[in-house]
Amino acid sequence: MALQDSYTTGDDGQENVTGQYAAAQIFTASATYDLDTIEVYINKNGSGGAVDVFLWSVNGSGLPFAVGGSEYSLGQLDSSGLSGNTWVSVNMSAYELQNGTQYSIVLSQLSDGCVWRRDGSSPTYAGGHAATSSDYGVNWSKDDTKDFLFKVNGDLSFSPPAARETKKRLVGFAASALWYEDIS
């Protein structure tokens, strides 16, 4: 497992992920790779609790979109034991990300959840932007002036080379002459 995509600098603010409030970070996959974990820089909100972490598609407006009403990948974290801003790693269900494709990391929780740390003063992540929802992730607002702090880890996908055609040949040498014929 290796770090594939990330934005980790400029921590200067936060967004609540609690109740009807959800948050997302749009990012662009820098390679084709198999997703392993997503890390988010968070702290608990209130008493904390289970927070769902989704990998969704991105629609034509640059907003999170669950294709067919479901996610590409799903994981969950527990924020109740956190006592300060920290990186939390979330094991995600299997999914292969495609080089150059935009995806959204979505955090959602129905009660006390977490606060997701962000860069709101000088974000430099060119592959995406933040988005927020105040209605459980049904409608989203794009925010090009913020980026949430995240890391996406996985293993580069490997495609074996195409099979090569081989020929078998019978080769002989006699009386100062070389001869061959193809055989099956």
Checking if the pLDDT of 166 tops 70, the result is no
pLDDT, tens digit (0-9, with 9 covering 90-100), for 83-124: 999 999 999 999 999 999 999 999 998 888 899 999 999 999
pLDDT, tens digit (0-9, with 9 covering 90-100), for 1-22: 899 999 999 999 999 999 899 9
pLDDT, tens digit (0-9, with 9 covering 90-100), for 20-76: 999 999 999 999 999 999 999 999 988 888 999 999 999 999 999 987 777 899 999
Domains in the chain with CATH codes: 2-183 (2.60.120)
Please return the burial class of 62, using the count of CB atoms within 10 Å of its CB with bins 0-12, 13-18 and 19+: middle
Contacts of 49 (CB under 8 A, 6+ apart): 78, 79, 80, 109, 111, 112, 113
